[in-house]
Amino acid sequence: MTIPPRELRDAFGRFATGVTVVTCRATDGTPHGATVNAFTAVSLEPALCQVTLTRNSKACGYLNGAPFAVNVLGMGQADTARHFAGRPADPGPEWADGPTAPVLVGAAAVYSCRPWRTYDGGDHLIVVGEVDHVHVTDDAPLLFYAGAFREIGGRETGVHWGGSLDCPDAGWFNAATVFTPLRPHAA
């Protein structure tokens, strides 16, 4: 059974992701970026992360054996995500030189990577980079869910138990309750 591509895309879109822009240098040395939400940490030792890009994208050609950076966009950077997804803004985002590749100014986090491996991923390539340097801020990330940009909600405060009969402090039983074992069932 083959799942229609639009149905599969919609189903994949039910998983909320962060939004990144993978940056590198084009063959002429100019900075290049591509919006990518297929990003994940791979390993702590060695320090590896991966991005998955459409096989026929310009960025895939530029990443072949080249250093790159993964810029995690902050919640105020939806225009930057659109810029690198094919809807350029004028002026465009601000660039800076990074430890391995050009980076975007204002990103919530940046992982500067050296090339590690590239794997076949069907109509995509899976590009794994060895993280050489990180830059992290306290900015909240931009999210993508069900075809739209979203913002992360507030932090969990612990009041989720309020009104619940399962609350460990005020529900049916408190945390200090000791239970007497049940008698074995008579045969």
pLDDT tens figures, 118-165: 999 999 999 999 999 999 999 999 999 888 889 887 767 666 655 555
- Segment among 8-12, 52-56, 66-70, 104-108 with least mean pLDDT: 8-12
The residue assigned the tokens 């991966």 is 50
15-48 tens-digit pLDDT: 888 999 999 999 999 999 999 989 999 999 999 9
Read off the tokens for 90.
């004028």
| Residues 64, 146: Cα–Cα separation, whole Å | 31
CATH class of 5-159: mainly beta
Q: Say yes or no to pLDDT of 66 above 90.
A: yes
Q: What's this model's pTM, rounded to 2 decimal places?
A: 0.80
| Residues 60, 54: Cα–Cα separation, whole Å | 7
| Residues 54, 52: Cα–Cα separation, whole Å | 7
DSSP state of 3: P
Task: Identify the residue with better confidence: 126 or 170.
Answer: 126
Give start and end residues of each alpha helix (H) in 118-179: none
Q: Tally Cβ neighbours within 10 Å of residue 161.
A: 13
| Residues 55, 65: Cα–Cα separation, whole Å | 15
Q: In a 3-state reduction of DSSP, which class is residue 85? A: coil
